[in-house]
Amino acid sequence: MIICRCEDVTLEDVERAIEEGCRDLESLRKRLRIGMGPCQGRTCIPILIRILARKLGVKPQDLGYPAPRPPLTPTRCSVLRGEHDEEG
Amino acid sequence: MKKADAVVIGGGVSGLFTALELAKRGAGKVVVVEEGYLGCGSTLRCATGIRASFTSVEHVELMKRSIQLWKEYSKALGFRYRQGGYLWLASEPETVELFRELSKFHNSLGVPTRIIDADEIKELVPCMSVDREVKGLFDPIAGKADPFGVVYALARECRRLGVEIHDHTKALRLAAKDSKVVGVETSKGFIEAPVAVVAAGYGTRELLKTVGVDVPLEPVPHYALITERLGRAFDPLVIDWDAPGVPYIVQTLEGNLLMGAGVTEEPSTDTSLPREFLFLALRSWSKRFPWLSCVNVLRSWPGFYVCTPDKHPIYGPVGSVEGVYVAAGYSGHGFMMGPVTGEVIASWILDGKPEPRIAERLTIDRFEKGELVREKAIVG
């Protein structure tokens, strides 16, 4: 079962990484690159939170959420560098 | 209470390489404590570059050894490392002169950097536009590694050799008796040990205060951004020396473009991202790579150069408290120095002197004696 489509991470990958000792969202994210692709975790991180919460026997809300990183949604370089300022 | 032969404080690249070297050399029970997750301090925020083309003998010699170890470790542990080179661009005649001087210095120490012209720059980075008069300083033995792969390969190998790694465990203070370290108090209990290695980035400062040692470390914020993955476009890490903020760009081994530029040199612990960072990095590189316009930026993040007054790390015993060793203050170069850091600290602990020997010049007492080392090229 695929958990993260951008980075092609399966449920089996997640379970193995948890077994290896990645017991928090940031470690799992870095170990598997889950949530590091174009969707920036919108789809996979909520699923990951549920899997990890169940494995650790804690409430999903106790696991927090990975640090948000701007620009939050994939954004063209041309928009971020503000070329309209220069040309307009 | 737990007992160990050595406690390593800090689960980043410095601490993990040190723990691995200690374990390989039969140092007994080694325990690593990390306050967050492995690599969360500076290691996983870094720009991935690895080079020996520095401007001090100390950095060059240590990094030559580190590069040798990067090659060996990447094969032995199976993480990705590639010698794609470093390329510094010079648009101003004075910069070209500076690069010539640097290249002479590098060559005298066996680092084969050379000055190249626009044609050769084009060959190395075909997708970049440069004017005819631009020259480059090229370091062919420099390279890059995948920090995520490195951290988890190290952790796996450490555990295989019997090292205990405790993440989410904060070292609160060092405990000393009769000027000797006796253990480390952590958020999860006391660990008794006759040796403590403090490789805790800026946290090193607070920790060493608990045994009366003041380490001159200051965190200077830096920022990086990363784009979506592209096909393999170019290998060298490129630094535009004469552009505002001295920006760099590198294609990571995953294929993403990672860019950075200096916004400030003022020490601060502020982790918020200044608005001007994205403009600064992207405007510079959009001129050199016009096709960047249609590439998406995924993330940007802060990290800190933990700086010492002479921009060189502090290595070795603290002197006043026996058994306490420092490995911190890389001033932006901790990732690339990781392998040699492990060798330096482990040999110092086990043999009483560091290997390579030149690390002896980087002990903390140099600040009291006024024997500072000078370094000019603090980029990437």
Mean predicted confidence (pLDDT) in B33-49: 97
- The token pair at B148 is 């995520």
For A44-77, write each residue's pLDDT tens digit: 999 999 999 999 999 999 999 998 899 999 999 9
Q: Who among A27, A69, A81 is closest to B300 (CB)?
A: A69
How close does chain A come to B90, measured CA to CA in Å?
23
**Residue B275's pLDDT band (boundaries 50, 70, 90)?**
confident
What is d(CA B333, CA B56) in angstroms, rounded to the nearest whole number? 13
Q: Looking at the complex, does the CB of residue A74 fall below 8 Å from at least one CB of chain B?
A: yes
For residue B305, give the 3-state DSSP assignment: strand
Amino acid at position B45, single letter: R
Helical H segments across chain B, by residue range: 13-24, 57-77, 93-108, 118-124, 147-160, 203-209, 275-288, 334-351, 366-369
Q: Which residue has the tokens 């470390």?
A: B217
Residue A22 one-letter amino acid: C
- Give CA B310 to chain center in angstroms: 15
Alpha helices (runs of H) in B28-90, residue ranges in sequence order: 57-77
- Rounded mean pLDDT of B7-18? 98
- CA of B145: how far to CAs of B16, B26, B41, B338, B343, in Å? 16, 27, 17, 11, 19
Question: What is the number of residues in chain A?
Answer: 88
Rg of chain B, C-alpha, whole Å: 21
Q: Contact A77/B254, CB-based, under 8 Å? A: no
The answer, yes or no, to whether residue B51 has pLDDT greater than 60, is yes
The C-alpha of B212 sits at a distance from chain A's nearest C-alpha, in angstroms, of 34
* pLDDT > 60? residue A85: no
- Going edge to edge, which strands form the sheet with B189-192? B2-3, B189-192, B180-186, B171-177
Task: Give dist(CA B371, CA B362) in Å, integer.
Answer: 9
Considering chain A, what percentage of its residues have pLDDT values greater than 70?
93
Instruction: Using the predicted structure, report yes or no on whether residue B111 has a pLDDT greater than 80.
Output: yes
Q: pLDDT of B331-364, one tens digit each?
A: 999 999 999 999 999 999 999 999 999 999 999 9
Taking the alpha carbons at both ends of chain A, their separation in whole angstroms is 49
Rounded to the nearest 10 degrees, the angle between the axes of helix B147-160 and helix B57-77 is: 70
Task: Quote ipTM for the complex.
Answer: 0.91
Q: B326, B244, B249, B329: which is closest to B295 by C-alpha?
A: B249
Q: Which residue in B58, B82, B60, B23 sits closest to B360, CA to CA?
A: B58
Both tokens of residue B64?
Answer: 């030559």
Beta bridge partners of B136: B89, B116
Distance CA A78, CA B296 (A): 9
Q: How far apart are CA B244 and CA B260, in angstroms?
A: 11
* Confidence grade of residue A88 (pLDDT, cut at 50, 70, 90): very low
Q: Under a CB-based contact definition with an 8 Å cutoff, are residues B198 and B326 in contact? A: yes
The label of the residue with tokens 């979506």 reads B228
For chain B, the distance separating the N- and C-terminal CA atoms, rounded to the nearest angstrom, is 42
Mean pLDDT of chain B: 96
B69 pLDDT more than 60: yes
Q: What is the pLDDT of residues A5-48, one digit of tens each?
A: 999 999 999 999 999 999 999 999 999 999 999 999 999 999 99
Residue holding tokens 């991180």? A45
pLDDT tens per residue, range B177-226: 999 999 999 999 999 999 999 999 999 999 999 999 999 999 999 999 99
Residue in chain B nearest A32 by alpha carbon: B148
- Cβ contact B148–A37 (<8 Å): no
On the question of pLDDT at B15 being above 90, the answer is yes
Q: Which helix (H) or strand (E) holds A47?
A: helix A44-56
Q: How confident is the model at residue B375 (pLDDT cuts 50, 70, 90)?
A: low
pLDDT at res. B21: 98
Check if A88 contacts B (Cβ < 8 Å).
no
Q: Do B296 and A21 touch (CB under 8 A)?
A: no
CB B5 within 8 A of CB B195: yes
Predicted pLDDT of residue A87: 44
Examine the pLDDT at A84 and tell me if it is beyond 60.
Answer: no
A77: nearest CB among B151, B254, B286: B286
Q: Closest by alpha carbon to B126, among B236, B227, B50, B242?
A: B236
pLDDT at B371: 85
Work out the pLDDT band at B377, boundaries 50, 70, 90. low
pLDDT in tens, B291-333: 999 999 999 999 999 999 999 999 999 999 999 999 999 999 9
pLDDT band at A83 (very low <50, low <70, confident <90, very high): low
User: In chain B, what residues touch A21 (CB-CB under 8 Å)?
Assistant: 155, 159, 165, 167
